[in-house]
Amino acid sequence: MRSCLESLLAVQKRYHSILEKIVSEHNLTIAEWQLLLKVIDGNQTQEKLAKLTNLNVSTLSRQLSRLVAKKFISRFAGTEDNQRGGRRKYNYIETNQGKAVVKQLQADLKKFADNLFQHWSVDEQNMLQILLNRLDRSMERL
């Protein structure tokens, strides 16, 4: 029999695989989807996005470029010159297509969760949430 932590790892791997499949159906990667959510939340500059994602500038720039190419976000010129290097700064904003894909993705994820827990009572779901929160707090203390 697996330990609790081994079971959590197995669940995490299975969930990640399912999440990748759902997100890819919308022509996104998980990283692009997470970045798109941050742009929709009002984080429009590369500087803000870099801090939020902990990505290096080149990786972030590639992901933003892919989102622009897919027409999920638009890029527009910000400040003309950066005092440190003279590089043009860009700002990003979601497009209607970007908003629509996130809305559909959220609906698909809700449908997945509903199907996953369809045979669970509300009490069982609440107990799982309580235990997961407790496990998270315990891990934080280590």
pLDDT of residue 79: 62
Helix axes 30-40, 46-53, angle to 10 degrees: 130
Q: What is the pLDDT averaged over residues 136-141?
A: 96
Q: How far apart are CA 25 and CA 131, in angstroms?
A: 32
pLDDT in tens, 31-88: 999 999 999 999 999 989 999 999 998 999 999 999 999 999 999 987 654 455 556 7
Supply the CATH classification number for the domain 4-141: 1.10.10.10
How far, in Å, CA of 85 to CA of 74, rounded? 24
Look at residue 85 in the predicted model and tell me its pLDDT: 58
Neighbouring C-alpha atoms within 13 Å toward the C-beta of 12:
7
Angle formed by the axes of helices 30-40 and 96-116, to 10°? 120
Domain ranges of the chain: 4-141
Q: In this predicted model, which residue has the larger pLDDT, 3 or 80?
A: 3
With CA atoms as reference, report the closest residue to 98 among 24, 40, 23. Answer: 40
- State the amino acid at position 12 in one-letter form: Q
Question: Given this model, what pLDDT does residue 87 score?
Answer: 64
Looking at every residue in the chain, the average pLDDT score rounds to 93
Q: What is the dihedral of CA 88, 91, 96, 101, to 10 degrees?
A: 100
Please report which confidence band the pLDDT of residue 124 belongs to, taking 50, 70 and 90 as the band edges.
Answer: very high
pTM of the full structure: 0.85
pLDDT value of residue 24: 97
Of all residues in the chain, the percent with pLDDT exceeding 90 is 85
Query: What pLDDT does 78 receive?
Result: 75
Position 1 pLDDT exceeds 70: yes
Residue 89 CA to residue 47 CA, distance in Å, equals 9
The reported pLDDT for the residue numbered 80 is: 52
Q: In Å, what is the CA distance from 37 to each residue of 15, 28, 33?
A: 19, 12, 6
pLDDT tens by residue, 11-22: 999 999 999 999
